[in-house]
Amino acid sequence: MKLLSAILLALLLPVSLAQAAVRPLPLPEDKGQPVGQIVIHTAQEGDTLAALARYYGVSPILVMAANPDQDLLLLQPGDRVVIPNQLLLPRAETQGIVINLAELRLYYYPENEEQVYVFPIGIGRVGRATPEMVTSISQMRENPTWTPTATTRKEYAAKGIPLPAVVPAGPDNPLGEYAMRLAYGSGEYLIHGTNDPLDVGLRSSAGCIRMYPEHVEWLFAQVNKGTRVQIVNQALKVSTDEYGQTFVESHEPLTPEGHVDTRPLDMSQLAPLLQNGLDRSTLERIISQQQATPQLVGQTEY
């Protein structure tokens, strides 16, 4: 709760940086290599956590994880901030849209292109968790209306906010200007924009995937009805390159109920390193730091 409160406080601060353009990350020839680069940002007057997260296209939670010893709520000019723009690809088909809930990221792989676009997202809150799935886009909607469920209307009413049966398109619509309905279930899950960008990078929706307005507008123009969508929940990502170097990228694992997942780590992907003499406690310590960036943990024979 302290972390969430800190993030919410930071997101209420003014954004001082212009929004960055959407740019792809080239996929390396060796798919076991990390993608992208770590960026070191030197803070300027007026910089905030919210501004940096939106400008670089990274969840504020990941920025905080990558800077565990720094108070990002009180940035001073000259402070150096690690921006975690280097990552390992999730274990999923490099096709269409891939969403990794644990890292609050959406990956888009254009067809027949050796590159990937990566975006921060908001996901389902505690009790309304976004489910894992393999599905596709079933409907594309520009300037959508929103039909809140009875449960959602009750939740808003408890806060003193009455909702109509149908919320028209416009600035009060939480779906924003673009929405892509998923074929999963009864179609209740969407990838959409938002009229409140402060929700991006947090677990705050009723199960839908929220994106910054500029990001969802771009993505909406790239995909079509039928585009494949896979949603995974991988708190620990592991890859080994052609030289036998093994990297791990660790995020805080959460259960759908919001509790820290205390189950033992699945170390099966790292068995060759343990067999090669790497101390298990050392490996577990590196993983437990949950720095949200790829860490080189060892090398096996190749």
Q: Where are the domains of the chain?
A: 1-88, 96-234, 236-299
What pTM does this model have? 0.88
Domains 1-88 and 96-234 equal at CATH topology level: no
Tokens of 257: 């109920």
Read off φ and ψ for residue 276, nearest 5 degrees. Answer: -90, 5
pLDDT tens, 97-152?
999 999 999 999 999 999 999 999 999 987 788 999 999 999 999 999 998 888 88
Q: CA torsion sign, 214 to 49 to 124 to 233?
A: positive
Tokens of 55: 């400008």
pLDDT at 5: 42
Q: Identify whether 215 is a catalytic site residue.
A: no
The superfamily CATH assigns to domain 96-234 is L,D-transpeptidase catalytic domain-like (2.40.440.10)
| Residues with pLDDT less than 50, the chain | 1-17
* In the chain, beta strands by DSSP E: 25-26, 35-36, 39-42, 80-83, 86-87, 96-100, 105-109, 115-120, 123-124, 133-142, 178-182, 190-192, 203-205, 209-210, 228-232, 236-240, 245-250, 295-299
Helices (H), the chain: 2-11, 49-56, 60-66, 150-158, 213-222, 271-275, 280-288
Q: Pick the catalytic residue: 208, 215, 251, 259? A: 208
User: Could you tell me which of 207, 11, 25 has the C-alpha nearest to residue 119?
Assistant: 25
Tokens of 155: 């939740």
Q: Pick the catalytic residue: 192, 215, 251, 259? A: 192
pLDDT at 64: 92
> Could you say which architecture CATH assigns to the domain 1-88?
Roll (3.10)
Q: Identify whether 208 is a catalytic site residue.
A: yes
For residue 231, the Cα-to-chain-centroid distance in whole angstroms is 11
Tokens of 187: 């179609």
Let me know: does 163 contact 154? Beta carbons within 8 Å: no
Read off φ and ψ for residue 53, nearest 5 degrees. Answer: -60, -45
For residue 276, the Cα-to-chain-centroid distance in whole angstroms is 33
User: Could you tell me which of 186, 189, 195, 185 has the C-alpha nearest to residue 216?
Assistant: 195
Residue 243 carries which DSSP code? T
